Amino acid sequence: APYPEEMNHTKGGLVIFTANSHPSSRELGKRIAERLGVELGKVQVYQEANRETRVQIQESVRGKDVFVIQTVSKDVNTTIMEMLIMVYACRTSCARSITGVLPYFPYSKQCKMRKRGSIVSKLIASMMCKAGLTHLITMDLHQKEIQGFFNIPVDNLRASPFLLQYIQEEIPDYRNAVIVAKSPASAKRAQSFAERLRLGIAVIHGEAQDAESDQVDGRHSPPTVKTTGAIHPSMEIPLLIPKEKPPITVVGDVGGRIAIIVDDIIDDVDSFVAAAETLKERGAYKIFVMATHGLLSSEAPRFIEESAIDEVVVTNTIPHELQKLQCPKIKTVDISMILSEAIRRIHNGESMSYLFRNIGVDD
């Protein structure tokens, strides 16, 4: 195992709550409490008839180190409110410290400025700090820089040791595998995995080209008229050529190999299914998908079941029992161990560096 199993049990003054009213989401909280040899704290979190969230803490937290575990259910906005209200309730009940344990940080995909959008994960971070969070434990942030949105310490734990261990133990002939990035964006992660398994990588680039139909209506051609509008005459901004992806190419050889696609989040599975098709065409004989967070929304399990993908391996940062019932190809790696070890170390004031052993910069 990547980390030692034995736990020296925590000193007093530790309370673990799970802030989730969703029953399947309490599973991870139970596992963590069990590993730490403590009972889950008594709290009621529920939706009133008018859909308002109510949190009632049913034991004293004065002067205690509180850990609030929150996994993201389908209703992500309720999840966030439950978290905020729970943290605020602990703060107003004089908890000594309040550590949020959010294995998957919600809205983490909205962490870049898009046209007239906003950086939502910064807003969520500010709200959490405002509510009274004093420390955050999370896993595989979509972008590592999200840590900088918080003015409290953030421990961004990694699932890669567990996924690497899965590859080595559960894929018999993994030495004949190649690690695949389904787009150049995830190439760094693929490289990081490949280096530790001493395997090669392949990168899929481009997109499926449609027939001529959409070329005809001029969508791909730059506008002919230069619209300067209100720009000062001497300040003409150069016209940018519209972005056009080349046809699909696979950089790297996958013929006669096992292909292991790695990513951090698997939610909308279209791109994974398309990548699997491409890899099959290029001669890969088995296709795995490994990701930390299995959101697997709406129809995802059915699409996976019908696709060329042989197995999807995700961790239990997000509950996905229902998805597994729909799709036996989905396998789970348990990461409660590293979360409980992180809680124990923080509570006992020990160093966390042990949990980051052998972690690559690009994990």
pLDDT, residue 2, reads: 54
Closest to 203 in 3D by CA, of 193, 218, 217: 193
Q: Taking residues 102-119, report their average pLDDT.
A: 91
User: Does residue 181 sit in the same domain as residue 300?
Assistant: yes
**Considering the entire predicted model, what is its pTM?**
0.86
Mean pLDDT, the chain, whole residue set: 87
The per-residue pLDDT for 214 is: 52
Distance CA 251, CA 204 (A): 6
Are 182 and 37 in the same domain? no
pLDDT over threshold 90, residue 212: no
Identify the residue whose tokens are 């596992």.
31
Residues 42 and 131 in one domain: yes
Same domain, 256 and 327: yes
Looking at the fold, whether 79 and 42 belong to one and the same domain comes out as: yes
User: Is residue 243 pLDDT above 70, yes or no?
Assistant: yes
Q: Are residues 153 and 164 in the same domain?
A: no
Residues with Cβ within 8 Å of residue 165, at least 6 apart in sequence = 1, 2
Q: What is the pLDDT of residue 1?
A: 55
- Is residue 321 one of the residues assigned to a domain? yes
Query: pLDDT, tens digit, for every residue of 82-93?
Result: 999 999 999 999
* Whether 41 and 148 share a structural domain: yes
The CATH number for 199's domain is 3.40.50.2020
Answer yes or no: do 329 and 264 share one domain.
yes
Structural domain span for residue 185:
160-206+247-333
- Rounded to whole angstroms, the Cα distance separating 133 from 113 reads 25
Q: pLDDT tens across 178-209, in order?
A: 999 999 888 999 999 999 999 999 999 988 77
Q: Please count the structural domains in the chain.
A: 2
Domain annotation covers residue 318: yes
Assess whether 118 and 165 both reside in one domain: no
- Do residue 147 and residue 264 come from a single domain? no
118: buried, middle or exposed (CB in 10 Å: 19+, 13-18, 0-12)? exposed
The verdict on 99 and 182 lying in the same domain is no
